[in-house]
């Protein structure tokens, strides 16, 4: 409130205080006799300063009239009631106390009405101006230039969006109404806008009211519910946007009216992962933490999620200098960096001597191992590289962690390690066994965390589909019945960090991935979200299952069971026994085969270590790699791998 407005309202309050007392006496006695006049002349000059000071202390002159709301009215009620109590005490000194007490009750009611009205009336006038042509005249806009908007959701999210639109006069938006599936809300009026019906009526409402845009304001909606609403919006032919999901709201990311287009992540939306901050802080705060693969999508997100817990040092280890540089720069600008020292390290986990030197120099206490080759078809044609990185590289980091007495070691594994059909999946299963072997004799708590596909990670299907849509199609899918589990990068990273707190040594933690999703449904959703029609604008073409792929992924083997943890989204697989001496011999032979470039020996040794490994690849006998087959890798979904 400006000084001029404060003075105006101060004078208004003086008038209201004086008038209410005079009116109360008049209403009680139907007249003003000399004794009443004498009382007023004595008490009004005394009471007015006391009331004004009380109002000032209650902050009535520091409130914005434009946004007067219930808390402001509560402040008015408290201030007026306090002043009335002071007035009431004054009658103890007068002989006419019984009759004057009724006067002060009337005075209290009149003061409350008059002073409350002086605060709420400007808000009412402004709201009336907003809902009338005066608004457009004031801001130089015509009715044609404003968007007619329908809000889906008459709950807290919808009310917040509506209130934000109302308070921003510069927004060229007119809210026509709301829709909600709750039948109890039908016909209700929220901030002057009616609830027009249920979501099933969206098409009719859009047509009847000439709606230009739809705002989906249900941040708590599940992915299934949001897909249904999006389909209804698409059928209406109106543009539509949404609020951030509940996970973003909880993270404090919603500032003002942050509307955006629907993303594919919204359609797969799940309840946000709950993590125990105290448990994580207990084992990370003040520690030296090493993250391998820190330039990758999962590794860089783990680094970002760790920062709020303030490790003393965060070591960013990766093979690619550009990715580590980008990750380092992003973390340096993170507002939660605090006193954490960031140290970028360019190193290859296959270089045993270098890894050992890193541990000697920096003495990490916690290790998150996210470095791995993970692209299934690429590893089918380069099996020896999968061995070198995923098995030998992991063994190097595990061995260094054991030798240098690291407290905890958490490795990122995959659901493809269960009954693997791919080289990549088999190598990750071997890595799990290596971890288990060391865990039996090491003071380091070695654990693995197994989960499925991560939305938006490098090499994932979503970026590929988006690129194919941009190029006009077709979208290529290997099989119409292909299904996968999906999880967002932030959720997976949080649960990985949480699992690290539970590890006692040797466990394989499994993340609850929710319901599996058909890849065809994912592709169709992406096409529709791009404003196109499936089959008409963008074709979906099936190319056949690629080497190493299977129709569905599993999180457990038949011999494994699960045990619950304190987090309902994290489970522990029943551990399998590992003969460490035999495993050590097998891994040595596996490494030798990989370094000699003999893929047939790589595959046979993998099958020896992981009996459930069933490669779904065509095998032809030959002594050397067939480079022609490698050249054709990019041209055909089927790959013929040469084996001697």
Q: Which of 150, 240, 159, 257 is nearest to 528 (CA)?
A: 240
Give the Å distances, CA to CA, from 437 to 409, 502, 583, 584. Answer: 13, 19, 8, 9
Active-site hit among 416, 428, 436, 494: 416
Bridge partners for 511 per DSSP:
570
Collapsing DSSP states into helix, strand and coil, what is residue 538? strand
Distance CA 241, CA 261 (A): 5
374 belongs to the catalytic site: no
Kind of pairing between the strands at 445-451 and 508-511: parallel
Q: What angle do CA 478, 459, 422 make, to 5 degrees?
A: 60
Q: Angle at Cα 242 formed by Cα 271 and Cα 144, nearest 5°?
A: 165
Rounded to whole angstroms, the Cα distance separating 549 from 85 reads 80
DSSP string, 343-391: EEEE--TT-HHHHHHHHHHH--SEEEE------HHHHHH-HHHHIIIII
Q: Report whether 52 contacts 10 (CB < 8 A).
A: yes
Are 80 and 60 in contact by the 8 Å Cβ rule? The answer is: no
Element (H, E) at 593: helix 580-596
Rg (the chain; Cα; Å): 34
Task: Report d(CA 135, CA 366) in Å as an integer.
Answer: 60
Q: Which residues does residue 178 pair with via DSSP β-bridges, in sequence order? A: 151, 195
CA distance 382 to 211: 55
Return d(Cα 191, Cα 166) in angstroms, integer. 8
Distances (CA, A) of 595 to 210, 393, 527, 588, 591: 68, 13, 44, 11, 6
CB 425, CB 432: distance < 8 Å: no
Helix or strand run (H / E) with residue 476 = strand 475-477
374 touches 424 (CB < 8 A): yes
Closest CA to 352 of 292, 302, 394: 394
Give the 3-state DSSP-derived string for 392-447, with helices as H, strands as E and coil as C: HHHHHHHHHHHHCCCCEEEEEEEHHHCCCCCHHHHHHHHHHHHHHHHHCCCCCEEE
CB-based burial label for 577 (10 Å; 0-12, 13-18, 19+)? exposed
How far apart CA 271 and CA 576 sit, in angstroms, is: 32
Instruction: Provide the annotated active-site residues.
Output: 416
């Amino acid at each position: 409130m400006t000084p001029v407005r404060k003075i105006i309202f101060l004078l208004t309050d003086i008038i209201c205080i004086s008038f209410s007392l005079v009116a109360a006496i008049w209403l009680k006695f139907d007249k003003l006799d000399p004794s009443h006049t004498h009382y007023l002349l004595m008490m009004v000059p005394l009471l007015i300063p006391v009331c004004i000071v009380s109002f000032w202390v209650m902050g009535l002159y520091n409130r914005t009239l434009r946004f007067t709301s219930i808390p402001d009215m509560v402040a008015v009620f408290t201030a007026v009631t306090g002043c009335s109590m002071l007035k009431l005490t004054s009658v103890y000194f007068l002989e006419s106390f019984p009759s004057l007490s009724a006067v002060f009750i009337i005075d209290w009611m009149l003061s409350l009405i008059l002073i409350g009205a002086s605060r709420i009336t400007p808000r009412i006038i402004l709201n009336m101006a907003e809902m009338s042509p005066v608004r457009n005249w004031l801001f130089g806009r015509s009715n044609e230039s404003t968007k007619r908007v329908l809000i889906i959701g008459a709950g807290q999210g919808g009310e917040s969006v509506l209130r934000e639109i109302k308070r921003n006069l510069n927004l060229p938006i007119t809210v026509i109404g709301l829709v909600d599936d709750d039948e109890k809300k039908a016909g209700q009026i929220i901030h002057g806008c009616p609830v027009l019906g249920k979501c099933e009526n969206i098409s009719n409402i859009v047509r009847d009211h000439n709606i230009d845009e739809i705002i989906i304001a249900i941040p708590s909606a599940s992915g299934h519910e949001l897909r249904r609403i999006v389909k209804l919006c698409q059928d209406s032919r109106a543009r539509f946007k949404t609020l951030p999901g509940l996970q973003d709201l909880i993270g404090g990311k919603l500032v003002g009216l942050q509307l955006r287009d629907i993303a594919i992540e919204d359609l797969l939306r799940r309840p946000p992962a709950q993590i125990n901050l105290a448990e994580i802080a207990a084992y990370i705060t003040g520690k030296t933490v090493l993250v391998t693969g820190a330039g990758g999508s999962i590794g860089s997100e783990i680094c970002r999620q760790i920062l709020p817990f303030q490790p003393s040092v965060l070591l960013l280890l990766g093979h690619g200098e550009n990715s580590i540089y980008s990750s380092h720069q992003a973390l340096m600008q993170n507002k939660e960096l605090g006193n954490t020292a960031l140290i970028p390290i360019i190193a290859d986990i296959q270089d045993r001597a270098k890894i050992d030197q890193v541990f000697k120099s920096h003495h990490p206490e916690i290790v998150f191992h996210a470095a791995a080759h993970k692209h299934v078809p690429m590893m089918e044609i380069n099996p020896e590289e999968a061995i070198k990185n995923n098995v030998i590289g992991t063994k190097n980091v595990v061995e260094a962690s054991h030798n240098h007495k690291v407290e905890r070691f958490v490795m990122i594994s995959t659901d493809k390690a269960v009954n693997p059909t791919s080289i990549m999946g088999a190598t990750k299963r071997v890595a799990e066994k290596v971890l288990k072997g060391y865990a039996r004799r090491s003071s380091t708590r070695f654990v693995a965390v197994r989960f499925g596909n991560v939305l938006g990670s490098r090499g994932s299907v979503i970026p590929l589909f988006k690129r194919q849509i941009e190029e006009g199609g077709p979208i290529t899918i290997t099989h119409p019945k292909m299904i996968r589990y999906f999880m967002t990068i932030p959720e997976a990273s949080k649960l990985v960090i949480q699992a690290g707190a539970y590890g006692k040594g040797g466990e394989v933690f499994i993340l609850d991935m929710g319901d599996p999703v058909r890849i065809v449904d994912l592709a169709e959703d992406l096409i529709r979200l791009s404003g196109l029609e499936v089959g008409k604008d963008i074709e979906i073409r099936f190319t056949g299952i690629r080497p190493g792929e299977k129709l569905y992924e599993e999180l457990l083997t038949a011999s494994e069971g699960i045990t619950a943890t304190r987090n309902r989204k994290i489970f522990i697989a029943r551990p399998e026994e590992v003969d460490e001496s035999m495993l050590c011999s097998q891994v040595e032979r596996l490494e030798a085969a990989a370094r000699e470039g003999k893929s047939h020996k790589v595959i046979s040794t993998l099958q020896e270590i992981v009996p459930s490994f069933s490669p779904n690849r065509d095998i032809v006998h030959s002594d050397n790699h067939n480079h022609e087959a490698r050249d054709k890798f990019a041209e055909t979904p089927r790959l013929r791998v040469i084996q001697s």
